[in-house]
Structure 1
Amino acid sequence: MNTSTTHHQRIAKMLFSTVYPLYLAKIEKKGRSKVELNQVIEWLTGFDPNKVQNLINEKVTFEVFFRQATLNPSANLITGVICGYRVEEIEDTLTQQVRYLDKLVDELAKGRKMEKILRGL
């Protein structure tokens, strides 16, 4: 993976409020719902839909978003390739967490069953 400081800073400074609608459009195009997207986000971060909306309204960066999150202890079970890189091999913690979320959204869009996405609950 591109491990440059610039790359990690760019990800850290991205606004969650900019990316969330892209996630939503991606999954809705494939027949999934906002409720399911929020369920995936809540599983990974501990944020309920109201908290997610507050973070969107506050225009927080991914850095702030994940600093406030309580990452699911099973997040390390998220494996596979996202954007051409193996999620489990990403060394920068924040970049890995963002890619965890990307991977879960991809799985949702691909029609994977929710129990599999949430790693067996």
Structure 2
Amino acid sequence: MYLAPINTDLLLFEAEKESLYLALVEQLNKDFNLANESIDLALRITPDNLKSQLHEKIYRLISYKFAEYLNLLYIVDVSEEAIKKLDGSDLVILAEQVSFLILKREWQKVWFRNRYK
């Protein structure tokens, strides 16, 4: 049974533990490219750098390219309900929470694809 990690650090740890971290980075690059918002994450990126680059990218999208941000959420297939539950009063915190939702959804795709291939 699939149990989603409860925070970004645990998610990235689990991805590494299951040898799926590289697949997760590839999935992020793929979906960002599909949304025409290239993030260009190096395949050897550390989990900490991944976390900070993703957070920064989401913060910039929310702040300056909102339509593209919404398109990215659609491409990644982040739950609209989950987004609506977030408090948008602090953009830095919001970007961090959205980054986690994106990572969680991308991890789900990678995990299921690996599990049921």
Q: TM-score range by the shorter chain?
A: 0.3 to 0.5
What TM-score comes out, normalization by structure 2 length?
0.47
User: Larger % of helix: which?
Assistant: 2
TM-score normalised by the chain length of structure 1:
0.46
